[in-house]
Structure 1
Amino acid sequence: MIFLHQRLFILIEIFIIFLLLTPVLGEQIPNVDRVVVYKKKRVLQLCRGDSVLKQYPIALGKSPEGHKVREGDSRTPEGRYILDWRNPNSKYYLSIHISYPNKADKQRADSLGVNPGGAIMVHGYPTGKSASLWNRYWFLGRDWTDGCIAVSNEAMDEIWTTVKDGTPIDIHP
């Protein structure tokens, strides 16, 4: 009888340990309600309420300082936009579109007589021939996009599954 109680006690301990470890083993990021980018810090944050759920290093446009004004300026826009649609088959690993240009961006470009540009995305590394291991290391730690926000492919997988279309993105200097 004592042996049976010992076995039952051990089974209960194992079950409790399993319950305690389950959140760690199966940790998932809850759906986010906004994305925040700090260009100077080179970070993208997934947020819910006032909490930062996850943070990723980023690369920006080749001319990262200042707000995007026109097509071809290689700047990443600043302001509030919406992540409004996604492309699983882009030339970069997964991409989510940023709703640049907004009304104010279009008015600014019109007043300057320039095209504001567009097709600004959050995406991973290039796919195809340029996706070699060498190029992956080259893309780390430098600004290389034409104005998009780039993250690692692993980060893009997490962003892709936790950020829904219609989520706001705030891009700060």
Structure 2
Amino acid sequence: MPVFRIFMVIALALTLSGCASKFKTYNGPEVTQVLVKKGERRMYLLHGSEVLKSYRIDLGFEPQGHKAIEGDGKTPEGLYFINRRNANSRFHLSLGISYPNPQDRALAAELGKSAGGDIFIHGGPPKGSGYKRFTDWTWGCIAVSDAQIEDIYAMVKNGTPILIRP
């Protein structure tokens, strides 16, 4: 009987470890701003002027310049805010960026086009997609690894400003 109990305890422990969550907790200093430097392919999580974390990023497949219209493959530039969370993203986890703002909509309207939307910081690329890391493969989003988005998702709250620079 003791062997059976030991087996059951081990089986339960393995089952629970298989349910490890992609949702981490964070108890450090508040992230007061996200800074993205597109030219450097870097994203910084800041508390005031202190860099808490830095990440190598992928961008839209046309990384130069500001996003003007839907489908142009560019990552927007300017000041935005983290405005939503997607725990069921096809890119593991994702944090929404408040693109387009009123200026973005006006620019696209002048061109007779839609500004688009659904710009996120997310994990990925999805397995089997054919995309490779460090190739600027997104449609305008900011991509990190799945492990990195788990940390970012825990650290960055809705309402946090994100400044995206060229």
Taking structure 2 as the reference length, the TM-score comes to: 0.80
Q: Does 1:66 align with 2:65?
A: yes
Report the CA distance between 1:37 and its aligned residue.
0.2
Residues 108 and 34 of structure 1: is their aligned pair in 2 closer, same or farther, counting only changes over 3 Å? Answer: same
Residue identity (%): 48
Name 1:166's counterpart in structure 2. 159
Give RMSD over aligned pairs: 1.6
Q: Deviations over 1:10-51 (max 9, x none)?
A: xxxxxxxxxxxxxxxxx9642201100000000010001111
Question: In the alignment, what sits opposite 1:147?
Answer: 140
Instruction: Check whether the contact 1:81–1:168 (CA below 8 A) recurs between aligned residues.
Output: yes
How much has 1:150 moved relative to structure 2? 0.1
Question: Which residue identity does 1:172 align to in structure 2?
Answer: R
Bigger proportion of residues as helix: 1
Which structure 1 residue ranges, 5 or more long, are not aligned? 1-26
Provide the residue aligned with 1:9 in structure 2. Answer: none
Distance 1:107 1:42 in 2: 28
The TM-score normalised by the length of structure 1 is: 0.77
Deviations 1:48-82 (A, max 9, x none): 11111110000000000000000000000000000
CA distance in 2, matches of 1:153, 1:33: 22
Give the 3 Å change call, closer, same or farther, for CA 162–105 of structure 1 in structure 2.
same
Structure 2 counterpart SS, 1:75: coil
Q: Verify the 8 A CA contact 1:61 1:143 in the aligned structure 2.
A: yes
What stretches of structure 1 move > 2 A for 4+ residues in a row? Answer: 27-31
Letter in 1 for 2:64: E
Query: For residue 51 of structure 1, what is the aligned residue in structure 2?
Result: 50
Q: Secondary structure at the match of 1:36?
A: strand
| Unaligned residue ranges in structure 2 (runs of 5+) | 1-25
1:75-154 alignment runs, 5 A limit: 75-127=74-126, 130=128, 139-154=132-147
Q: How many residues are treated as equivalent by the alignment?
A: 141
Q: In structure 1, how many angstroms separate the alpha carbons of the residues matched to 2:76 and 2:86?
A: 20
| 1-structure distance, mates of 2:153, 2:123 | 10
1:114-164 alpha-carbon deviations (Å, 9 max, x no partner):
11010000000144x537xxx6xx622210000000001111111000100
Aligned to 2:150: 157
Output the CA distance in 2 between the equivalents of 1:105 and 1:113. 12
